[in-house]
């Protein structure tokens, strides 16, 4: 019982018991308090409508996930201004949604069951619909009336054993439209098929017996010719599986490569010539803590080990180059390109990986963030002739959820669209409250600040047909923590700082999500 | 994570030894009543390996048994085991190809299970997790197949 999370949880439980009588906001499952098993959070109950001046920033993340429904909509709302005629289509977006079941709450954002959203934009109207993704895991939990298995970061008492990664698959990270379906993507297991019109879950995606149950990344890359590249990793295996799919979604090739430091690989990059992996010295120790710690607690940041860049030839799908880099923690890659001698990869460097995970845990415990961890854009520059890779800071600004012009993926770009943070954000609150276009040549940021009440989600770049790189719109949602409503905003991507050119406010708030993609009508 | 090697789980050579299970019970030995639960789809075989020591665990079985996966649960009597510690690895050979099918990462794509009560099956159970004792008057063990 040396898991510090248990000690923290006991403290939390004690605090909750001390205040529950006075404010009636927390219910502590008696069994959990008595046994001290697991690290799930007590559930908040009896959400009252907040008074405007009485909303603590510390409640934001639990409020955003309180009373999440099975589905939202379909509803239709009107934009405050007409949309550009060329901007018609659907923003599909995925994200963790269900964080509670019975008297148990997950303690980390990434644990939540996925929900698929369709934001359909047509003329001056926004049509929104969302449904829970009914994975095997979700259906089993629903039938049992409780979370059955310990997840990514939450260890439950009486958890059922896990036989394969898909037992835990919450399909909650991103979405790939492919072959007339949507694939709801996790990163540790299979994609889940979702009908793009009804958002009904159609089943697990299996391309072949060899890839049955093999992890498929949440960040596949659609090449300029329509080829879809992806990968899968399995912590502790020392291997990566590479996938090449044709534009119809048929699996054309898989390849297994040896990969050091491949214990957590969230994103990768493509250039004209290469698939690029930047592998972190984040080491998974399966034996760490025995059965007493959750998956995330088994990771250790090992900065004494170098980072590794792998360049894989797109034609042969074999490793052609391997460089060491300074250890660089990150989740997301912006763009990457090569000019023959050098390969450049933009990534959102996390100053302290485990600290960032701690920030998320703090947010869901309604605690002030314990030293907000900076995440900002850097560029890895790998020189093929010198066999060296260096890290260059692109900006000191906060930046996450990077998006680029998809028509120029793997080619040189200047426009990087990110979510960022301004000083108007309450200091103790985890998250982001602004969006920006960054000129990656100059480092200059053109920013729109949603203000102190708002948490922003990923904003997706949508290209204007026949326009140059970076010319188009930025489309995304933001959640107001005071009104608890979600608004979808559209920006001119060349003038983000001018503010939204159209906004539509939904009649409800949505759980804070992760990644989306736009499909033009 | 180490893959479960089907060639170790059910070595081909030892398949020939399977009829041993049907031999009359020796006076000095015990019967093991094995119940296999969570047989989700009927058809194919449950292929069972019984190991008798940590050194031989998942390498060389003292018994290899095949039983038709006719229903749920499947009950099998394994007769004539000397009293002592054992561990069981088994799988549901749904397509009857005599091996535990697995994907590129080596993760089984057919249901499998081990004796014991380990909480996390991401990877094979250890001997310590899987072991159980057979007393002179026999033993009963239940193994739940993975979903």
Secondary structure in 3-state letters for chain B: CCCCCHHHHCCHHHHCCHHHHHCCCCCCEEEEEEEEECCCCCCCEEEEEEECCCCCCCCCCCEEEEEECCCCCEEEEEEEEECEEEEEEEEEECCCCCCCCECCCCCECCCEEECCCCCECCCCCCHHHHCEEEECCEEEEEEECCC
Assess contact for A235 and A287: CB atoms under 8 A.
no
Look up the CATH number of domain A4-520: 2.130.10.10
pLDDT for the residue B64? 95
- A167 vs B contacts (CB less than 8 Å): 146-147
What is the pLDDT averaged over residues A441-464? 96
pLDDT for the residue A513? 98
Rounded CA-CA distance B36/A142 in Å is 25
Q: Which CATH number fits the domain B25-144, given the four candidates 3.90.550, 2.60.40, 2.120.10, 3.30.420?
A: 2.60.40
Select the residue from A163, A169, A257, A298 to test the B interface by mutation, using most B Cβ atoms within 10 A.
Answer: A163
Of the pLDDT bands very low, low, confident and very high (cuts 50, 70, 90), residue A287 is confident
pLDDT for the residue A7? 34
Record the pTM: 0.86
**Structure tokens, A50:** 């907040």
pLDDT for the residue A26? 29
Contact A159 B119 (CB under 8 A): yes
Q: Are strands A282-284 and A113-122 parallel, antiparallel or unpaired?
A: unpaired
Cα atoms in the Cβ-side hemisphere of radius 13 Å centred on A427: 2
Residue ranges covered by each domain of chain A: 4-520
Of the pLDDT bands very low, low, confident and very high (cuts 50, 70, 90), residue A164 is confident
Of the pLDDT bands very low, low, confident and very high (cuts 50, 70, 90), residue B118 is low
Q: Report pLDDT digits (tens) over A109-161.
A: 999 999 999 999 998 999 999 999 999 999 999 999 999 998 889 989 888 88
Helix (H) or strand (E) holding A120: strand A113-122
Of the pLDDT bands very low, low, confident and very high (cuts 50, 70, 90), residue B7 is very low
Rounded CA-CA distance A453/A433 in Å is 8
What is the pLDDT averaged over residues B119-144? 87
Q: How far is B6 from chain A (nearest CA, A)?
A: 15
Instruction: Average the pLDDT over each of A195-199, A347-351, B114-118, B124-128 and give the range with the smallest value.
Output: B114-118
Residue A308 pLDDT > 70, yes or no? yes
Contact of A67 with chain B, judged by CB distance below 8 Å, is answered with no
- A254 vs B contacts (CB less than 8 Å): 104
Rounded CA-CA distance A110/A518 in Å is 23
Please name the residues between 122 and 181 in chain A that touch chain B, using a CB distance below 8 Å. Answer: 136, 159, 161-165, 167
Of the pLDDT bands very low, low, confident and very high (cuts 50, 70, 90), residue B26 is very low
Interface residues of B toward A, Cβ cutoff 8 Å, are 1, 101, 103-109, 111-112, 118-123, 146-147
Assess contact for A490 and A473: CB atoms under 8 A.
yes
In whole angstroms, how large is the CA radius of gyration of chain A?
22
Residue A76 pLDDT > 70, yes or no? yes
Residue A4 pLDDT > 80, yes or no? no
Check if the interface score ipTM surpasses 0.85.
Answer: no
Q: Residue A254 burial by CB count (10 A; 0-12/13-18/19+): exposed, middle or buried?
A: buried
Q: Report pLDDT digits (tens) over A375-432.
A: 999 999 999 999 989 999 999 999 999 999 999 999 999 999 999 999 999 989 999 9
On the question of a cis peptide bond just before residue B73, with omega within 30 degrees of 0, the verdict is yes
Q: How many CB pairs under 8 A join A and B?
A: 64
Write the residue in A213, A214, A234 that is nearest to B1 by C-beta.
Answer: A234
Mean pLDDT of all residues in chain B? 82
Rounded CA-CA distance A119/A125 in Å is 10
What is the pLDDT averaged over residues A163-176? 94
Residue ranges covered by each domain of chain B: 25-144
* % residues pLDDT > 90 (chain B): 65
* % residues pLDDT > 70 (chain A): 90
Contact B109 A214 (CB under 8 A): no
Helix (H) or strand (E) holding A243: strand A239-245
Contact A209 B118 (CB under 8 A): no
pLDDT for the residue A240? 97
Of the pLDDT bands very low, low, confident and very high (cuts 50, 70, 90), residue A20 is very low
Select the residue from A161, A187, A213 to test the B interface by mutation, using most B Cβ atoms within 10 A.
Answer: A161
Q: Report pLDDT digits (tens) over B71-106.
A: 999 999 999 999 999 999 999 999 999 999 999 988
């Amino acid at each position: 019982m040396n898991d510090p999370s248990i000690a923290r949880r006991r403290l939390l439980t004690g605090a909750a018991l001390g205040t529950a009588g006075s404010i009636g906001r927390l219910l502590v499952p008696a069994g959990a308090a008595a046994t001290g098993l697991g690290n799930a959070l007590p559930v908040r109950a009896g959400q009252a409508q907040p008074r405007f001046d009485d909303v603590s920033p510390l409640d934001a993340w639990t409020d955003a996930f309180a009373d999440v429904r099975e589905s939202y909509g379909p509803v239709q709302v009107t934009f405050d201004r007409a949309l550009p005629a060329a901007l018609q289509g659907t923003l599909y977006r995925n994200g963790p949604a269900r964080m509670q079941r019975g008297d148990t709450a997950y303690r980390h954002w990434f644990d939540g069951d996925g929900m698929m959203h369709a934001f359909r934009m047509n003329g001056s109207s926004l049509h929104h619909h969302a449904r829970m993704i009914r994975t095997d895991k979700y259906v089993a939990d629903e039938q049992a009336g409780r979370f059955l298995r310990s997840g990514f970061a939450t260890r439950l008492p009486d958890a059922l054993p896990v036989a394969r990664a898909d037992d835990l698959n919450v399909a909650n990270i991103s979405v790939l439209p492919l072959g007339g379906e949507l694939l709801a993507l996790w990163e540790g297991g299979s994609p889940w098929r979702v009908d793009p019109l009804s958002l009904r879950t159609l089943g697990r995606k299996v391309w072949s017996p060899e890839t049955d149950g093999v992890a498929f990344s949440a960040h596949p890359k659609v090449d300029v010719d329509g080829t879809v590249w992806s990968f899968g990793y399995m912590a502790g295996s020392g291997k990566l599986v590479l996938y090449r799919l044709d534009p119809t979604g048929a699996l054309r090739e898989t390849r297994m490569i040896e990969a050091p430091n491949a214990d957590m690989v969230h994103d990768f990059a493509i250039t004209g010539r290469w698939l690029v992996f930047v592998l972190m010295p984040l080491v998974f120790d399966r034996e760490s803590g025995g059965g007493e710690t959750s998956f995330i607690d088994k990771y250790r940041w090992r900065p004494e080990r170098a980072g590794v860049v792998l360049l894989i030839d797109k034609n042969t799908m074999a490793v052609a180059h391997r460089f060491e880099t300074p250890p660089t923690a990150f989740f997301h890659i912006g763009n990457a390109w090569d000019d023959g001698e050098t390969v450049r990869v933009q990534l959102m460097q996390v100053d302290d990986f485990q600290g960032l995970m701690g920030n998320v845990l703090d947010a869901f415990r309604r605690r002030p963030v314990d030293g907000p961890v900076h995440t900002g854009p850097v560029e890895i520059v790998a020189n093929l002739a010198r066999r060296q890779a260096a890290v260059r800071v692109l900006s000191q600004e906060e930046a996450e959820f990077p998006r680029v012009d998809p028509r120029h993926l793997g080619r040189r770009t200047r426009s990087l669209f990110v979510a960022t943070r301004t000083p108007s954000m309450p200091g103790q609150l985890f998250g982001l409250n602004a969006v920006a276009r960054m000129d990656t040549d100059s480092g200059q940021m053109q920013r729109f600040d949603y203000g102190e009440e708002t948490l922003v989600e990923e904003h997706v770049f949508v290209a204007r047909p026949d326009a140059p790189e970076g010319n188009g719109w930025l489309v995304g949602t933001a959640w107001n923590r005071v009104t608890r409503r979600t608004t979808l905003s559209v920006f001119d991507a060349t003038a983000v700082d001018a503010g939204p050119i159209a906004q539509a406010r939904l009649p409800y708030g949505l759980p804070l999500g992760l990644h989306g993609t736009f499909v033009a009508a | 994570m180490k893959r479960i090697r089907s060639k170790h789980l059910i070595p081909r050579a030892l398949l020939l030894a399977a009829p041993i299970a049907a031999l009359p019970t020796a006076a000095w030995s015990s019967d093991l009543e094995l119940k296999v639960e969570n047989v989700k789809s009927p058809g194919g075989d449950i292929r069972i390996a019984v190991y008798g020591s940590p050194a031989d665990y998942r390498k060389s079985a003292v018994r290899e048994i095949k039983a038709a996966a006719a229903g749920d649960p499947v009950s099998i009597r394994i007769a004539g085991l000397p009293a002592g510690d054992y561990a069981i690895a088994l799988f549901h050979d749904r397509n009857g190809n005599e091996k535990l099918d697995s994907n590129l990462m080596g993760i089984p794509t057919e249901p499998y299970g081990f004796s014991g009560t380990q909480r996390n099956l991401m990877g094979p159970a250890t001997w310590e997790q899987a072991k159980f004792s057979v007393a002179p008057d026999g033993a009963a063990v239940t193994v739940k197949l993975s979903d």
